[in-house]
Structure 1
Amino acid sequence: MSQIALVDVNCFYASAERAFNPSLEGRPVVVLSNNDGCAVTRSPEAKALGIPMGEPWFKLAPRAREWGLVALSSNYELYGDLSARVMELLGRYSAWLEVYSIDEAFLGVKGTPEELLALGRTMKNTVRRNIGVPVCVGIAGTKTLAKLANKWAKNNPSFDGVCHWDSVPAAHRESLMRRLSVVEIWGVATRLTKRLTALGIHSILDLARADPVMIRDRFSVVMMRTVLELQGTPCIPMEEERIGREQLIFSRSFATPITTAAGIRQVMSVYGQQASARLAKHGLQAKVLTAFAGTSHFNPKDTSYPSVCVPMPMPTADPVLLTRAAHALLPLIHAGVRYVRAGIMVTDLRPTGNQSPLAPFENPHEELRIGTLLDDVSRRYGRGSIGLGHAGIRGGPDWTMKRDMLSPRYTTHWDELPLVKAA
């Protein structure tokens, strides 16, 4: 019988740091958001200190020494590379793999309950041994139940990190679902929880016993599918590829506010180039580009949120055309205003070559694969080593993201490779 396994890396960012720095084991660790702002990952030891998700670093810093708290900047290069290694390794256990996020994936699996439990333990132990990060595995007949099984495996030591939903006695499953609030279920947000509570649906078990047709009429088909999945009927199919289906967004907050159109031009040039590289990597082209910028919500004196939507003549991944479209934002930028964030979003994505342009509209840059060339050079020699116009800055402009507590990028940069010394 076919089942679905959800493999999720525990506290991924903190675990990735510990894989190359064993001295962090057993110590409270937080990984900070862009510009070293807030705690976005907390190790179990940090959670035990009562540190909430999203707590600003400036509030934690005064007590960090007292707690023995270690704070690290987000090392996106390291996390992305380790994520790719985890997913490649998991792909060896199933031809049916859906990468759901940077730290979790669904796999289609088959076998008896005993075989599935053994497979779950094998995947857990192999990832830990070969990649160095801990994972938990939840196995069930639907995605929603696999998510629930994974949560149970992570929070109940008796499972040792692997839970096969159907192998747990029905009374125990009902007890768990009765104890958990409906907000804990995958896809149910706080706003929906309030509406469900008004109908007398408080726990996951209440939702599982609800009438699917009534839920569809009161909420949506999506919520009805969640109910059916809790009842054991698969309704959410596996997806072969999630990246690039709908949109790509490139946006960051600035370490130093930008007050000139020239500064925003540089930002738009960098993001246009990055969007081109990402589209080329996934064999996609975009038909629409939206560029935007914004001031701080905490600064009422400067209030400006300009945005512009630019339809492209033809679907494209050309860095020249994307950058030119992003520059349409510049006439809306007010000199002297302190912009703290900006970005671009490309939408209406289509497979490359799906629609061949007529001869007068052919783009020579795409024929020469300029976007792919820029990405290849950047990967080999580092970001900023090559670029178009204002994006070709080797040293990095002063608005780039603040990461004062960045660990080495152990797996992606030759000069930062870890050293092993024999005694």
Structure 2
Amino acid sequence: MATWNRDTPRIRTRGGVPFPTRRFSRILHLSQYRAELQLTALSSNYELYGDMSRRTMEVLARFTPDLEVYSIDEAFLRVSPRIAGDVQALADLGRDIRDTVRRLIGVPVCVGIAETRVLAKLSNRTAKKLPVFDGVCVWPGTRPDWRLSLMKRLPVSEIWGIASRLERRLVAMGITTIADLAAADPVQIRKAFNVVVMRIALELRGIPSIAAEEDRTGKKEQLIVSRSFSEKITTRAGMRQALSVYAQQASARLVKHQQVAKLLTAFAGTSHYSEQRSFPSVLVKLPAPTADPVELTRAAHTLLPLLEDGTRYARAGIMLTDLRPAHVYEPLAPFRHPHEDLGIAELIEKVQRREGRDLLGLGYAGLRPGPAWQMKREMLTPRATTHWDELVTALA
């Protein structure tokens, strides 16, 4: 099993002077490079990031018929049985993947190859952290005593799937390192925790126990649209517009993934450091599973009576759960609203996909000019791969 991750460590140079990456800045004191560093603040470029991820996945698909896209910047590739036992062939494959993605896409990646998913993730992290591997780590090709030494040094929280709360419970049992969990009795681990932790322990021993997941880009268990505000919202009117925008965005995502939702949770919150602390939320059971923006907006607005004018809300969002395939569920006529037959959700999604997300809005979500609380993106870098008007101009 091989994994890739885009964040391969590199030492770059500017004018012949070493320029430390994020990892090396933890080791080398920043003052050593104060004269050479020039920092620039840039806005988040989600469009470019998503497009580069899509292109990277297309390149990775050339190396295997069995590609599992795990997240926007991670994927699992199943290695051909023909070379599964050949360490040199696996190393050559890893370097080929690394070099091809760098050449065709222009982004650095690192590759970890191992017998199980958990070990592949650990191998990937090793390739990223230790320069000696140059971005490619074949776990079976390393010495057993070195692997054991590494696992004894790394805390159990370094394992994929072990969060801080679970780590505290493991530490209470005397399991503090990865080696401790690998050596633990799987039956006792299951009794003390659950089958998921037991499978992680088995995978650390090289026993495949975690099955492949379906493509997450099209089949989600929940959908969340949430943002922190650039300027605090202090009125119900302002929050009404924010919830309307989020409901419309959630509707567009459901349509894109051909899903409908049955449950909606709307929430808002102040800063955790604010003297005014308020975190209202409401759970709404929709009359029928739907992706209709009108119904989702109406449900989200049930949060408004719980808000207090004058409270400085820093964040709000919508979470949709109990998602179902749209083609499977077809509600009876008495449970459908007339406007749902007009296909408003599909129309908005189609227009926004072709002309831009901000061109068309429904109700309060369509008010112009844009609200002050929206994310500020004045320092946005060009999105040349997805926007014609931002293509680079070359002059000869």
Structure 1 distance, partners of 2:78, 2:362, is 43
Structure 1 distance, partners of 2:8, 2:131, is 16
Q: 1:248 aligns with which of 180, 200, 223?
A: 223
How far off is 1:66 after superposition? 7.9
**Aligned match of 1:135:** 109
1:265 aligns with 2:262: no
TM-score (norm 1): 0.84
Q: Which runs of 5+ in 2 are unaligned?
A: none
Q: Could you tell which deviates more after superposition, 175-184 or 338-347? A: 175-184
Deviation by residue 1:103-130 (Cα, 9 ceiling, x = unmatched)? 1111122132233322222211111011
Within 5 Å, which residues of 2 pair with 1:1-150?
4-10=1-7, 27=19, 43-44=22-23, 46-48=25-27, 67-110=37-80, 111-112=82-83, 113=86, 114-150=88-124
Q: 1:412 aligns with which of 377, 380, 386?
A: 386
How far off is 1:47 after superposition? 4.2
- 2:386 is paired with a residue whose SS is coil
1:354 aligns with 2:351: no
Within 5 Å, which residues of 2 pair with 1:167-178?
167-178=141-152
1:337 aligns with 2:311: yes
Q: Could you tell which deviates more after superposition, 411-420 or 382-391? A: 411-420
Structure 1 distance, partners of 2:171, 2:250, is 42
How far off is 1:67 after superposition? 4.2
Structure 2 distance, partners of 1:161, 1:410, is 28
- Opposite residue 318 of structure 2, the aligned amino acid is I
Within 5 Å, which residues of 2 pair with 1:179-328?
179-243=153-217, 244-300=219-275, 302-328=276-302
How far off is 1:175 after superposition? 2.3
- Opposite residue 10 of structure 1, the aligned amino acid is D
**Aligned match of 2:128:** 154
Cα distance, 1:141–1:351 mapped onto 2, change above 3 Å = same
Cα distance, 1:395–1:149 mapped onto 2, change above 3 Å = same
Q: Which runs of 5+ in 1 are unaligned?
A: 29-41, 52-62
**Aligned match of 1:33:** none
- 1:137 is paired with a residue whose SS is strand
1:225 and 1:236 in contact (8 A); partners too? yes
How far off is 1:146 after superposition? 0.2
How far off is 1:78 after superposition? 1.4
Cα distance, 1:195–1:44 mapped onto 2, change above 3 Å = closer
Structure 2 distance, partners of 1:253, 1:273, is 17
- Opposite residue 372 of structure 1, the aligned amino acid is E
Cα distance, 1:237–1:421 mapped onto 2, change above 3 Å = farther
Deviation by residue 1:237-263 (Cα, 9 ceiling, x = unmatched)? 111222443211111111111121111
1:399 aligns with 2:369: no
2:243 and 2:297 in contact (8 A); partners too? yes
- 2:282 is paired with a residue whose SS is strand
Structure 2 distance, partners of 1:277, 1:249, is 12
Query: How many pairs are equivalent?
Result: 388
1:71 and 1:405 in contact (8 A); partners too? yes
2:8 and 2:109 in contact (8 A); partners too? no
2:262 and 2:321 in contact (8 A); partners too? yes
Cα distance, 1:44–1:286 mapped onto 2, change above 3 Å = same
Cα distance, 1:178–1:87 mapped onto 2, change above 3 Å = same
Structure 1 distance, partners of 2:199, 2:188, is 12
Q: Could you tell which deviates more after superposition, 242-251 or 144-153? A: 242-251
- Opposite residue 102 of structure 1, the aligned amino acid is I
Cα distance, 1:406–1:26 mapped onto 2, change above 3 Å = farther
Structure 1 distance, partners of 2:343, 2:63, is 35
2:67 and 2:77 in contact (8 A); partners too? yes
**Aligned match of 1:58:** none
1:284 and 1:352 in contact (8 A); partners too? yes
1:250 and 1:345 in contact (8 A); partners too? yes
- Opposite residue 88 of structure 1, the aligned amino acid is E
1:251 and 1:344 in contact (8 A); partners too? yes
- 2:79 is paired with a residue whose SS is strand
